[in-house]
Each structure stands twice: as structure tokens, then as C-alpha cells.
């Protein structure tokens, strides 16, 4: 079931990886922190264009919920941006011959979603800050039907084979899962060719002193305080691995971490579907469990945001209830 869709998702995400590497290679370190976000915008738009066009060809009845809009590309003052996007798209698609055509491909990701039809969810470059720092980012594509995530593919082009190490020869991995069909890790080699496919399993660790955990790099409010109180209540003593993007889900799915905890204290921030859909199915199909901080399953039926959820708890399954109990205890003190 869904073999064709999964093959499409793997191939299109692999094309996206090529684009991201090429754009990231052009980043001048230090320039981004002066506010120039152009590189990540180029990568974001080019990836969305490629995925959107590929879908239109292979699954014309499926809609796309993409993070990016095409407003900038349409404005004359951004003609240079549109030209850059088109030239990157052209490296993987010969039919990207006009910036306006490419702009239309991007725009499909903003069309209204019919909740009764299946649709794809895309975060073209998740973890934009990590991308600009030349650290961790992900490309995340998932297929959703009537509130169920049917499949997901996550690319982590810079993720080291062992978390916390800096490896010189890392070509990245894809993580792919189908509902009820398990999850696999697909290692990329030079030129992003697939060199190995292996089944993905979460860790079986339950002993607090041995548990590793991951969380966001960015702390917009005091969310790192909350997460550290929760892990302390669980008895975890290890420091977190802080990484950008859905690479955090990959870390749980492949067993490097037993917990990914995300909590925004800001009442106004609502999580976006594209920041989670692919990561959730990869983690669950690897044997893990994902809920919000109140133990509710993630509800993707509310449109582009997870309106009915607060924060994220992704675990190896075995420690899930303990973590939820710790969250309850910590939040009741607030």
C-alpha cells in the first residue's frame, strides 16, 4: 500500500536535498546574522516548487499544504530572487524555464485544502536558523488523509551518524515511514545516492540515568526552564542535545534519544502541521509514541495549525507515561 507514493516522496526529497546543499554551500558564514535570510528563502521556495510540480505530475488529484507563499516572487523588486529560485529548480527540473511558471508551482502549496481529500504537507526547509548556521535542518514531506498521517519522509542532510560528534564524511540520511508499514533509515552517499536502507527502531532504554533527550536550540521564552524541570522530575541527568528542525524526531526514531520535549510557554504560539507531520509518523512507525504535553494525540484536522494541541512529547514509548506525569507535576506548580 502506498508504495508509489513513498517512492515519489523519497525521490522528490532527495532532489530537494541536492538543492539545499547547493544553496547552503553558497552561504557566507557570518552574513546571515546581519539579517540576510536570502539563502534560506531561495532554498525554501525552490524546494516547494520542485515538490509541488512533482506532485502535480504524479498525483494530480492531491493537494499540497506548503509552508511557503509566492508573494515575494511576484513582486518586481524581488526579480533577482525569482531568478535565483528558478535557476536552482532547473538543476533538478528541465521544465523550469520561466520564473512565473515556478511561482505558480510554489503557489499551489497555498491553495485551500479539502478535508475530505488527501493532501501532502511540506516544510521545504525546516529549521531555517540551523540551515543558515550550516548546522541541522530537515526537509519534511508527509501525506495526510482524514486526520491520519499515511506516510512521511524526513531528510536530515547534515545529521551526524552519532549525535554530538562532528563527522567529516557525513552525507546525511532520509527517514521514511508508512502507516502500519514500519520506518526505515536511508543513508545517502556522495552525490546523494542511496547507499543503504535499514529498519529504524527506537531505543529500549528506561533507566533515567541513561536516557538521552533532545530539544530546540531556540528558546523564545523560558521553555528551556520548563523542559529541564520536567526531565529532572523524570530523573534524567544527561544534558540535552539541542538541535534545530525535525531532526529531533529522527534522533528519537533511530534510538539516539528517548525523548523529544517541546513546550512553548507563549499562549499565542500554535504549532504548525508541517513542523511535525513527517516526524510524527517516522517516530511512531519506529516504535515510539507522540502526543502533546497533555497526552492528547496530535490533531491534524484543524487546518494548517495544531489548534487542539499544546507542545510535543515524543518518546521511545516506554517512558511516555512517566514523562507525561512529570509534565503534569511541573505545570501544576506554575
Strands of 148-156's sheet in order across: 63-66, 119-126, 138-145, 148-156, 173-178, 182-188, 194-199
The H-assigned helical ranges of 59-134 are 71-74, 79-90, 99-107, 128-132
Please name which of 50, 64, 47, 52 lies closest in space to residue 128, comparing C-alpha atoms. 47
Residue 279 Cβ, how far from ligand AMP at the closest point, in Å? 10
Answer for which of 26, 97, 232, 266 binds ligand AMP (CB under 6 A) is 266
* Catalytic (active site) residue 128: yes
Closer by beta carbon to ligand AMP, 48 or else 245: 245
Secondary structure (3-state) at 107? helix
Binding partner selected for residue 256 from ligand AMP, Mg ion, none, CB under the kind-specific 5 to 8 Å limit: none
Q: Among residue numbers 263 through 302, which ones bind Mg ion (CB under 5 A)?
A: 275
Closer by beta carbon to ligand AMP, 6 or else 247: 247
What are the angstrom distances between the C-alpha of 84 and each of 27, 31, 92, 96?
Answer: 14, 18, 14, 12
Binding partner selected for residue 269 from Mg ion, ligand AMP, none, CB under the kind-specific 5 to 8 Å limit: ligand AMP
Residues 38, 128, 227, 310: which is the catalytic one? Answer: 128
Question: Total number of residues binding Mg ion (CB under 5 A)?
Answer: 3
* Catalytic (active site) residue 244: no
Answer for which of 5, 68, 107, 244 binds ligand AMP (CB under 6 A) is 244
Residues 38, 41, 44, 103: which is the catalytic one? Answer: 44
Residue 245 Cβ, how far from Mg ion at the closest point, in Å? 7
68 scored as a contact of Mg ion (CB under 5 A) = no
Answer for which of 126, 184, 192, 284 binds ligand AMP (CB under 6 A) is 126
Answer for which of 26, 198, 206, 220 binds ligand AMP (CB under 6 A) is 220
Secondary structure (3-state) at 155? strand
Query: What's the rounded Cα separation, in Å, for the pair 45 and 16?
Result: 11
Query: What's the rounded Cα separation, in Å, for the pair 181 and 5?
Result: 13
126 scored as a contact of Mg ion (CB under 5 A) = yes
Strands of 312-315's sheet in order across: 241-242, 213-215, 259-262, 312-315, 289-291
Closer by beta carbon to ligand AMP, 123 or else 285: 123
Residue 2 Cβ, how far from ligand AMP at the closest point, in Å? 26
Sign of CA dihedral 146, 148, 151, 152: positive
Q: Which residues contribute to the site for Mg ion (CB under 5 A)?
A: 123, 126, 275
Q: Which residues contribute to the site for ligand AMP (CB under 6 A)?
A: 126-127, 216, 218, 220, 244-245, 264, 266, 269, 272, 275
Residues designated catalytic: 44, 128
Amino acid at each position: 500500500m502506498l508504495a508509489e507514493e513513498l517512492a515519489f516522496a523519497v525521490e522528490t526529497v532527495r532532489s530537494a536535498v541536492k538543492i539545499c546543499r547547493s544553496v547552503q554551500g553558497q552561504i557566507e558564514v557570518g552574513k546571515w546574522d546581519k539579517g540576510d535570510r536570502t539563502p534560506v528563502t531561495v532554498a525554501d521556495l525552490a524546494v516547494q516548487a520542485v515538490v509541488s510540480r512533482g506532485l502535480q505530475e504524479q498525483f494530480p488529484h492531491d493537494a499540497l499544504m506548503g509552508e511557503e507563499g509566492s508573494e515575494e516572487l511576484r513582486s518586481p523588486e524581488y526579480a533577482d530572487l525569482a531568478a535565483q529560485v528558478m535557476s536552482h529548480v532547473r538543476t533538478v527540473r528541465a521544465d523550469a524555464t520561466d520564473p512565473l511558471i515556478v511561482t505558480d508551482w510554489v503557489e499551489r502549496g497555498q491553495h485551500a485544502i479539502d478535508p475530505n481529500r488527501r493532501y501532502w504537507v511540506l516544510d521545504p526547509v525546516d529549521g531555517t536558523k540551523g540551515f543558515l548556521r550550516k548546522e541541522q535542518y530537515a526537509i519534511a514531506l508527509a501525506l495526510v488523509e482524514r486526520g491520519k498521517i499515511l506516510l512521511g519522509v524526513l531528510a536530515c542532510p547534515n545529521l551526524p551518524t552519532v549525535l554530538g560528534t562532528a563527522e567529516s564524511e557525513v552525507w546525511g540520511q532520509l527517514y521514511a515511514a508508512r502507516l502500519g508499514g514500519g520506518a526505515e533509515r536511508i543513508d545517502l552517499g556522495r552525490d546523494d545516492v542511496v547507499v543503504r536502507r535499514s529498519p529504524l527502531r527506537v531505543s529500549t532504554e528506561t533507566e533515567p540515568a541513561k536516557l538521552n533527550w533532545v530539544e530546540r536550540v531556540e528558546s523564545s521564552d523560558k521553555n528551556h526552564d520548563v523542559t529541564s524541570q520536567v526531565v529532572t522530575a523524570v530523573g534524567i541527568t544527561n544534558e540535552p542535545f539541542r538541535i534545530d528542525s525535525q531532526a529531533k524526531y529522527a534522533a528519537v526514531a533511530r534510538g539516539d534519544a528517548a525523548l523529544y520535549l517541546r513546550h512553548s510557554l507563549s499562549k499565542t504560539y500554535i504549532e504548525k502541521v508541517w513542523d511535525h507531520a513527517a516526524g510524527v509518523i517516522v517516530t511512531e512507525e519506529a516504535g515510539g509514541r507522540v502526543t502533546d504535553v497533555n497526552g492528547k494525540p496530535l490533531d491534524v484536522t484543524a487546518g494548517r495549525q495544531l489548534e487542539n494541541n499544546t507542545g510535543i512529547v515524543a518518546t521511545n514509548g516506554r517512558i511516555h507515561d512517566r514523562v507525561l506525569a512529570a509534565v503534569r507535576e511541573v505545570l501544576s506548580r506554575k
